[in-house]
Amino acid sequence: MRTHYPRFSHVLRLVLPTLLLAHFVVWPIVGFLSLYAGIIAAECTLLWFVALYIRRHRLIAEDLLLFNATSAATLLLTIPVTICCSLVIAELDLYQAYLLGQIDLSMPLSFQKNLLEIHIVRGLAELPKGLITLVLVPVFCEEPLFRGLIFTSLCAHYGPRWALGGSALLFATSHFNPWQMIPLFFFGLFLGALVYWTHSIYPAMLAHAVNNSTSIIGINLRTYLGMEGLGPSQHLPMPLVLLSGLLLLGGLLLLSRQAAIMPLLTKREFAPPH
């Protein structure tokens, strides 16, 4: 069964066409009718690919996607650590934007406008739609692909370093947003580390949900109340950034020492028959 876990070259051949289909075919066609529906349809295309691959190769979804139990303490600790990570990555995003601006490669205003429109909640009636589209759907569609199929396959064939780097790179690339490539890559590393330490996809799913929720809250606080903080357009005070960084490092250290309940298939343990 595990011999069907794809190698990196196979991952690229499988995943890249799926990402192109989702982003440049499904999203524009369905998004022409509704922006939210376009996002959901594109994300579900990724989940459909994962389900199809599992069914075609008769894999065990629980093993490939790491649906392993994890402790409540680990999940609770994941929340504040992710908030600190979000603040640090937001700062990194601002520095990257500044550097790109110095060489006239700033994010186009139309792209910025689209990002803001997606995240701004225009009344309580839109809140459930926004949360479903921007929080739940990405969590349940992206994580099984990047921290499930891709991470597990790369970890089995090449070890955890390749799994962390490869899954993070594909995660960042999948957004087709070169103006935020570096922050997305580091967030992908963070999510992959959670999976590697806990041997479970659930902490990464929770962290993804917390990060996206933090982004929505921050943008709407800034839009309606002029409050900076969770999703800043300006740099946070340096003491707060340093504190967030220190808390992030401390939280990661604690998470790395949490005892995993289930084992994780690694390169050493993966010996497919010839």
Q: Please state the pTM of the whole predicted model.
A: 0.92
Q: How far apart are the first and last CA of the chain?
A: 13
In a domain, 205, yes or no: yes
In a domain, 274, yes or no: no
Task: Show the DSSP H helices in the chain as ranges.
Answer: 8-21, 27-31, 35-56, 61-64, 72-102, 109-119, 127-131, 137-143, 151-158, 160-174, 181-198, 202-225, 238-256
In a domain, 52, yes or no: no
Its domain, for residue 184, covers 61-256
**Cβ partners under 8 Å of residue 147, min gap 6:** 66, 167, 191, 192, 195, 201, 204
Torsion sign (Cα): 212, 39, 52, 164: negative
Tens-place pLDDT, residues 4-39: 788 889 889 989 999 999 999 999 999 888 888 999
Tens-place pLDDT, residues 98-134: 899 999 888 888 888 888 788 888 877 788 888 999 9
Instruction: Mark the ranges of the chain whose per-residue pLDDT is less than 70.
Output: 1-3, 226-233, 265-274
**Cβ partners under 8 Å of residue 203, min gap 6:** 70, 74, 75, 78, 194, 195, 255
What pLDDT is recorded for position 230?
A: 55
Q: How many domains does the chain have?
A: 1
In a domain, 116, yes or no: yes
In a domain, 30, yes or no: no
In a domain, 265, yes or no: no
In a domain, 1, yes or no: no
